[in-house]
Amino acid sequence: MIAVMPSDDLARHLDFLREIDRLKSVQRRTALVDRSRLENSAEHSWHAAVAALVLAGQAPAGIDIAHVVRILLVHDLVEVDAGDTFAYDPAAQHDKAARERAAADRLFGLLPAGPGAHVRAWWEEFEAGQTREAMMANALDRFAGLLQNWGGGDGGTWRHHGVTREMVMARMEPIRTGLPALWDTVVAIVDEATAAGHLQVEG
């Protein structure tokens, strides 16, 4: 179908860029703030990366924000093959790692070796969550979901799935260490959502 092959190296970049267009069709369980539809993983990645830029002043001292942005831009790419796994579905979480690793092999392998290795390293850094930049990226990824569900004032998709206050607090835990300046805000939002009846309370 597509015959243009400017150079093998550039052609592989174009294959990759065309392939990852599919992330725009991977639906998450969170809705847009205006609730017109569910959001997709591509626009979510954009929003989290912008959040990293504007919240740079809230980050722990010495963090490389540009690297946090890089990590966030590629953190969901494997969903092109593996799909989005609902955070509050233990069964789907079970084989998530294996599905995503196979996706990484195929997808990052489309790129030439150099850029392919970079993208893979950033994704693996996010998954491992050990560096301070990966911890902040994980915090912002979690915070994005909180912001979407809370931002519309109606509890968003939490209510449809019977999500509890305890489940949300456990999911938000990476923010405590990854972006501690936001932690009081997280607790305040969860308290407000609980008081409004948007989150159930266990026991």
Minimum gap (Å) between residue 91 Cβ and a second copy: 28
Check binding of 10 to a second copy (CB under 8 A): yes
The token duo for 82 is 């593996």
Check binding of 18 to a second copy (CB under 8 A): yes
Give Cβ neighbours of residue 36 (< 8 Å, ≥ 6 apart): none
Which lies closer to a second copy via its Cβ, residue 58 or residue 93? 58
Number of residues engaging a second copy in binding (CB under 8 A): 59
The DSSP element (H or E) to which 27 belongs, if any, is strand 27-31
Which one-letter amino acid corresponds to residue 171?
A: R
Give Cβ neighbours of residue 67 (< 8 Å, ≥ 6 apart): 133
Per-residue x/- mask for a second copy, residues 55 to 74, rule CB under 8 A?
A: xxxx-------x--xx--xx
DSSP single-letter state for residue 36: S
A 10 A CB-CB count for 171 gives 15
Summarize as ranges the residues that interact with a second copy (CB under 8 A): 1-4, 6, 10, 13-14, 16-18, 20-25, 32-34, 36, 39-40, 42-43, 45-47, 49-51, 53-58, 66, 69-70, 73-74, 111, 114-115, 118-119, 147-148, 150-151, 153, 181-182, 184-185, 188-189, 192
